[in-house]
Amino acid sequence: MAVRQALGRGLQLGRALLLRFTAKPGPAYGWGRPERPGPAAGWCRGERPGQAAGPGAEPRKLGLGLPERYRFFRQSVAGLAARLQRQFVVRARGGLGPGGRAVFLAFGLGLGLIEEKQAEGRRAASACQEIQSIFTQKNKLLPDPLDTGRSQGFQLEEYLIGRPLGKGCSAAVYEATMPVLPRKLEVAKNLRLLPGRGPDTIPRDEEEDRTPRDSVFPLAIKMMWNISAGSSSEAIFSTMSQELVPASRVALAGEYGAVACRKPERGPKQLAPHPNIIRVFRAFTSSVPLLPGALADYPAVLPPCLHPEGLGHRRTLFLVMKNYPCTLRQYLRVNTPGPRLATMMTLQLLEGVDHLVQQGVAHRDLKSDNILVELDADGCPWLVITDFGCCLADERIGLQLPFTSFYVDRGGNGCLMAPEVSTACPGPKAVIDYSKADAWAVGALAYEIFGLPNPFYGQGKAPFESRSYQEAQLPALPMSVPLDMRQLVRSLLQRDVSKRPSARVAANVLHLSLWGEHTLALKNLKLDKMIGWLLQQSAATLLANSLTKKSCVETKMKMLFLANLEFEALCHAALLLCSWRAAL
């Protein structure tokens, strides 16, 4: 039946082409008037079935309605059809023999099969677009805990600062809250601490262990160390602008908003919100206070008025964010996630990296210390990428960094630097492509998530470096790790960038492996079945999200997958899975 339908469709197209080449001069068939209605018409980007294509429409939206990338293929098929039709017309005057009929029959069958495949692809692409539009609206922005007062939170004196959470090479982070918020006012009164002329801090001997700290201190304040930025707010924001890339619009509406008006239009990008990317709720400058542990942990970066031997300036940048319980490194020290849970954790990192790539940002410092973790109601970890101080986020160059000399900053964390970055040689026209560098780092971090030492941290006398390693030297993941995950890690760590999958394709591989194991088996990999599976997943995810007030990690991951659904990337991921399984 399928062959008969394809043959009938091919003969209809052949007859249409015959009329086109034998009719009197005039408007070309299908180009001067609306298309003949049918399920395959108008199913390209942004159109709906039955939509007419007028005279002013673009060429790619006419005829067979193929996307732009298939225009050459379509014209090639049309040219072949035209030659066959001219031969057919010439021979028809003298009678068509068996050979000519066979040629025309083969032509009709081939053209019909091509048209059926194209129509199937258009239906699949359109369904993916519809699903994507639905779940893009369902993925709501992260809540701002300071929403009660948009003009509040831009002064350090408004915050109650607790104990230190950690420090790095450029900043220290403290837990904090705003006691003026109604929910925190009673807690602050019980602790006998209210904001005064300076930021209040909780002495260690007055801490109440009975009170959960994440409820008392829902915020974290990051104090940057100012050694060379000067003391003016404009200079501080200009020098530390990379830290503001994940800042929300409200965060930039205070003091920074006034400074930004005097800055050039082209500058660092601001990321759109994403559940796996940290959000900065407030950004402001203030005088450096003497916070708990400062004299012991970072005396050299304090201003001279606080420490005689300090080298820091009197004023610096403060960032207010959500307070997360721990980093990924701290979580993995006391927890050993199972294979499925570890796969979902790796998937979250790939979703975050894909969002960065789509926004034209490269993190360039991915490591377990720069990934924060919180747990859902079931104890499943949710990962968030933070610390953008080394990121590449330039409107002018995107992800292509001109590498004219060794003085150009390649980014932080040399151990997890992708081979194309670590081996780059400077030159007048040299460029470092960061489009897949963070995805490579996720492949290296997968070893830590699955309970193995990271091979690129160099243990022993023979360090395993990204500059010189060979793919055959990569240690094997345990057999308990799913096959698809093992193959994906190998694929992400390929030295050849052209063979390495993008973060989007890699994320789709894990999505298909986690949720579509039985439906998308090798023998059943067909577009119609894939679309049916996507529709089932969409309905189930919408139902699960509506039944619970706070979605679990698995539901949120499915919503992200459906919100980022792209037909080409999905097909690429499915083909990768098929090739890996067929090789066994």
Q: What is the pLDDT of residue 344?
A: 96
Q: Is 378 annotated as catalytic?
A: no
β-pairing verdict for 160-167 and 431-433: unpaired
Length reported for the chain: 584
CA distance 97 to 293: 96
Of the pLDDT bands very low, low, confident and very high (cuts 50, 70, 90), residue 486 is very high
State the average pLDDT over residues 296-317.
93
Under a CB-based contact definition with an 8 Å cutoff, are residues 381 and 412 in contact?
no
Residue 298 forms part of a structural domain? yes
Of the pLDDT bands very low, low, confident and very high (cuts 50, 70, 90), residue 133 is confident
pLDDT at 61 over 60: no
Under a CB-based contact definition with an 8 Å cutoff, are residues 534 and 565 in contact?
yes
Q: Could you tell me what percent of the chain has a pLDDT over 70?
A: 65
CA distance 404 to 401: 9
Quick one: 318 and 347 in the same domain? no
Greater confidence, 520 or 279?
279
Q: What is the domain-level CATH number for residue 383?
A: 1.10.510.10
Which strand (E) or helix (H) includes residue 286? Answer: strand 280-287
Quick one: 447 and 513 in the same domain? yes
Greater confidence, 527 or 444?
444
State the average pLDDT over residues 50-63.
41
Quick one: 279 and 305 in the same domain? yes
> What is the residue range of 196's domain?
156-323
To which residue do tokens 């010189």 refer? Answer: 468
**Residue 21 to residues 53, 268, 323, Cα–Cα distance (Å):** 22, 56, 71
Dump pLDDT digits (tens) for 257-271: 555 544 445 556 889
Closest CA to 154 of 170, 173, 178: 178
pLDDT at 359 over 90: yes
Greater confidence, 83 or 583?
583
pLDDT at 55 over 50: no
Q: What is the domain-level CATH number for residue 303?
A: 3.30.200.20
Q: Which of 200, 354, 365, 438 is catalytic?
A: 365
Under a CB-based contact definition with an 8 Å cutoff, are residues 222 and 173 in contact?
yes
To which residue do tokens 């007030």 refer? Answer: 549
In angstroms, how far is CA 409 from the centroid of its own chain? 23
Q: Which two tokens stand for residue 380?
A: 């499943």
**Which of 297, 323, 349 lies at the terminal end of a domain, its last residue?**
323
CA distance 34 to 55: 8
Dump pLDDT digits (tens) for 88-105: 555 555 555 555 555 555
Residue 329 forms part of a structural domain? no
173-187, 361-375, 376-390, 393-407, range with the lowest pLDDT: 173-187
Greater confidence, 336 or 199?
336
All residues at 6 or more sequence positions from 408 whose CB lies less than 8 Å from its CB, including other chains: 401, 402, 426
Closest CA to 486 of 438, 437, 446: 446
CA distance 187 to 216: 7
Q: What is the pLDDT of residue 402?
A: 95
Quick one: 160 and 89 in the same domain? no
**Looking at this protein, which amino acid is placed at residue 31?**
W
Q: What is the pLDDT of residue 530?
A: 80
Q: Which residues of 542-556 are buried (b: 16+ CB within 10 A; e: fewer)?
A: beebeeeeebbbbbb
Greater confidence, 393 or 190?
393
Q: What is the pLDDT of residue 516?
A: 79
Q: Could you tell me what percent of the chain has a pLDDT over 90?
A: 43
Under a CB-based contact definition with an 8 Å cutoff, are residues 321 and 280 in contact?
yes
Residue 404 forms part of a structural domain? yes
Residue 238 forms part of a structural domain? yes
Closest CA to 216 of 226, 225, 206: 206
pLDDT at 360 over 50: yes
Quick one: 228 and 113 in the same domain? no
Under a CB-based contact definition with an 8 Å cutoff, are residues 176 and 162 in contact?
yes
Quick one: 317 and 436 in the same domain? no
Q: What is the pLDDT of residue 115?
A: 58
Quick one: 495 and 355 in the same domain? yes
Helices (runs of H) and strands (runs of E) counted in the chain? 17, 11
Q: Tell me if the pTM is above 0.85.
A: no
Residue 201 forms part of a structural domain? yes
Residue 145 forms part of a structural domain? no
Residue 144 forms part of a structural domain? no
Exposed, middle or buried, 48 (CB in 10 Å: 0-12/13-18/19+)?
exposed
Of the pLDDT bands very low, low, confident and very high (cuts 50, 70, 90), residue 362 is very high
Greater confidence, 12 or 302?
302
Quick one: 367 and 288 in the same domain? no
Q: What is the pLDDT of residue 20?
A: 52
Mean pLDDT, the chain, whole residue set:
77
3-state secondary structure of 167: strand
To which residue do tokens 């600062």 refer? Answer: 161
Q: What are residue 268's phi and psi, to 5 degrees?
A: -60, 145
Quick one: 317 and 399 in the same domain? no
Number of domains, the chain = 3
State the average pLDDT over residues 323-333.
95
Q: Which two tokens stand for residue 270?
A: 């601001």
Residue 333 forms part of a structural domain? no
**Residue 300 to residues 243, 316, 391, 414, Cα–Cα distance (Å):** 22, 15, 25, 25
CA distance 519 to 577: 13
pLDDT at 327 over 80: yes
Paired strand residues for 383:
373
CA distance 519 to 512: 9
Q: What is the pLDDT of residue 414?
A: 86
Q: What is the pLDDT of residue 194?
A: 38
**Residue 550 to residues 219, 377, 380, 545, 547, Cα–Cα distance (Å):** 20, 8, 13, 8, 9
* CA end-to-end distance (rounded Å), the chain: 34
Of the pLDDT bands very low, low, confident and very high (cuts 50, 70, 90), residue 256 is low
Greater confidence, 364 or 6?
364
Q: Which two tokens stand for residue 409?
A: 């900053």
> Is the CA virtual torsion 132, 133, 139, 143 positive or negative?
positive
Q: What is the pLDDT of residue 120?
A: 66
Quick one: 21 and 106 in the same domain? yes
Quick one: 418 and 567 in the same domain? yes
**Which of 90, 108, 138 lies at the terminal end of a domain, its last residue?**
138
Greater confidence, 127 or 9?
127
Q: What is the pLDDT of residue 69?
A: 46
Q: What are residue 530's phi and psi, to 5 degrees?
A: -65, -45
Dump pLDDT digits (tens) for 412-435: 888 899 999 999 999 999 999 999
Quick one: 197 and 116 in the same domain? no
**Which of 265, 291, 323 lies at the terminal end of a domain, its last residue?**
323
All residues at 6 or more sequence positions from 6 whose CB lies less than 8 Å from its CB, including other chains: 109, 112, 113, 115, 116
DSSP string, 414-448: GGG--HHHHT----TT-EEE-TTHHHHHHHHHHHH
CB atoms within 10 A of CB 366: 29
Under a CB-based contact definition with an 8 Å cutoff, are residues 489 and 477 in contact?
yes
Dump pLDDT digits (tens) for 168-196: 889 999 999 987 554 444 544 444 443 43
